[in-house]
Amino acid sequence: MTVVVLLGAPGAGKGTQAPMLAEHLGVPVLASGDLLRAAVAAGSPLGREADRYMSRGQLVPDHTIVRIFLDQLKGADAATGAILDGFPRTRAQAEALDRALAEHGDRVDHALYIEVPLEDLVERMASRRICAANGHVYNVATNPPQVAGRCDLDGSPLVQRPDDQEATVRARMAQQVPPLEDVADHYRAAGILRTVDGRQPIEEVGADLVAALASGDPAQVGPGEPGSGS
């Protein structure tokens, strides 16, 4: 089983890079934000609870997200491993993940941190669009679709995420970046954290992430400065 945790502040490029890493390793992507947005769209009790936090830019409580995310990880699709996009987001979540994997003699193999300065992220999120059907990620400035307003992969309309309004983005940064640093410290202490400069073009960030998977040393990959932002 190969388990890769993809870390980064909101908008750092986790959702953009996760499918490429998944294809590279032959494992699925499990994205906590997608799981929660599906629950919100379904109007389930979980979705109604999650929406109260997500719409304010706050993290969903650990006990809620840990339960649903680890259930998903136990699913048959993830039997050979997974790319975890957006989970864990707190030290408590990271410890719960470690315990769940250890029950089967597994562990997190790689933690890849995409670093982007916070001031770049607000702008990125204002121009982000996702497809209504499957959440494929675009950017009207840096990564537009071939046909304006339509997903290249499934043809569904492109929409703006409700939590990409500037005020909510700023709240997400303020509330979510400090616990993210705790998670990075957790994996740094375990010797498996690799940091990649997320200010580069999408393809170069992807190449650095693949190189980081292959690299034996926990070190900066790419030209960015360690600790340059998020």
Residues that bind ligand AP5 (CB under 6 A): 8, 10-16, 32-33, 36, 53-54, 57-60, 65, 86-87, 89, 93, 124, 128, 137-139, 142-143, 163, 172, 198, 200-202, 205
Q: Which is nearer to ligand AP5, 105 or 143 (CB)?
A: 143
* Residue 67 appears among annotated catalytic residues: no
Sign of the four-CA dihedral 57, 63, 64, 70: positive
CA atoms within 13 A on the CB side of 25: 27
> In a 3-state reduction of DSSP, which class is residue 96?
helix
Catalytic residue among 150, 161, 170, 188: 161
Helix (H) or strand (E) segment spanning residue 4: strand 2-7
Minimal distance, residue 116 CB to ligand AP5, in Å: 8
Q: Which is nearer to ligand AP5, 42 or 105 (CB)?
A: 42
Cβ neighbours for 179, distance < 8 A, ≥ 6 positions apart: 59, 89, 90, 91
Catalytic residue among 128, 129, 194, 199: 128
Distances (CA, A) of 180 to 64, 75, 89, 100, 145: 18, 26, 5, 20, 30
Q: Which is nearer to ligand AP5, 47 or 218 (CB)?
A: 47
> In a 3-state reduction of DSSP, which class is residue 207?
helix
Q: Which is nearer to ligand AP5, 49 or 105 (CB)?
A: 49
Q: Which is nearer to ligand AP5, 118 or 202 (CB)?
A: 202
Catalytic residue among 37, 124, 129, 172: 172
Q: Say if CB 174 and CB 199 are below 8 A apart.
A: no
Query: What backbone phi and psi angles, to 5 degrees, belong to 158?
Result: -90, 135
Q: Say if CB 115 and CB 197 are below 8 A apart.
A: yes
* Residue 161 appears among annotated catalytic residues: yes
Distances (CA, A) of 105 to 28, 39, 216: 20, 31, 21
* Residue 74 appears among annotated catalytic residues: no
* Residue 128 appears among annotated catalytic residues: yes
Catalytic residue among 14, 37, 129, 194: 14
Minimal distance, residue 218 CB to ligand AP5, in Å: 21
Minimal distance, residue 62 CB to ligand AP5, in Å: 7
Cβ-closest residue to ligand AP5? 33
Token look-up 């989970």 returns 87
Minimal distance, residue 41 CB to ligand AP5, in Å: 13
Minimal distance, residue 26 CB to ligand AP5, in Å: 21
Active site residues: 14, 89, 128, 161, 172
